[in-house]
Structure 1
């Protein structure tokens, strides 16, 4: 690690360091950065869940999780689910699916997912 790199790490905010670490995982797992996603693409993404919200509805209840990969975030949306064990804020997740839209934001509906161990 060079002197400039060390100085950058020492003076960077925790939020910026976390984002940089998450971006590293995207490349290591051959995933697509969220900032590059387009509707209709089949993708593999990895990141940390920032928020998980259950929305009751008369038609179809949904569980929605915001996944942040260090560049941007997208929503993972499970239709008809109230709770999924392991889907909780702070958890790292690898998800696969087709990019769509939910409430004006990029989303993957009913993604195939893998819960990752801390630090992976």
Structure 2
């Protein structure tokens, strides 16, 4: 078999033997790169970034606290917490949605955070 066939065979074997979560992370990373976004694992505090990924979780603040909406964006390489201050709900921001977010990376409690990011809801494929 030639090199072209060997590559296809290798990819097939990898797909059949790799953990589903790892395959999903690879797909997310590929989609993120196709959108022109940076990899979350390569971002540092103070960087102006555009990220693209899937929302893993969305948390609303308690009624008696300052209104905040937090969502974890995962791009296949790392998670970044998106925080909207003064908001309890944003239509379309829900677990499983694919989002492109832009802002400046901060670090809070050792986690990467984007405060009040500009965002775009992307169509799921």
Pick the TM interval, shorter chain.
over 0.9
Bigger mean CA deviation after superposition, 88-97 or 12-21:
12-21
The TM-score normalised by the length of structure 1 is 0.93
Structure 1 stretches of 4+ with a deviation exceeding 6 A read none
RMSD: 1.4
- Correspondence 1:11 to 2:17: yes
Alignment of 1:51-70 (within 5 A): 51-56=57-62, 60-70=66-76
Please, which runs of 5 or more residues in structure 2 have no aligned partner? 1-6
Equivalenced residue count is: 119
Greater gyration radius:
2
Aligned counterparts of 2:107 and 2:22: Cα–Cα separation in 1: 27
Please, which runs of 5 or more residues in structure 1 have no aligned partner? none
Q: 1:71 aligns with which of 71, 74, 77?
A: 77
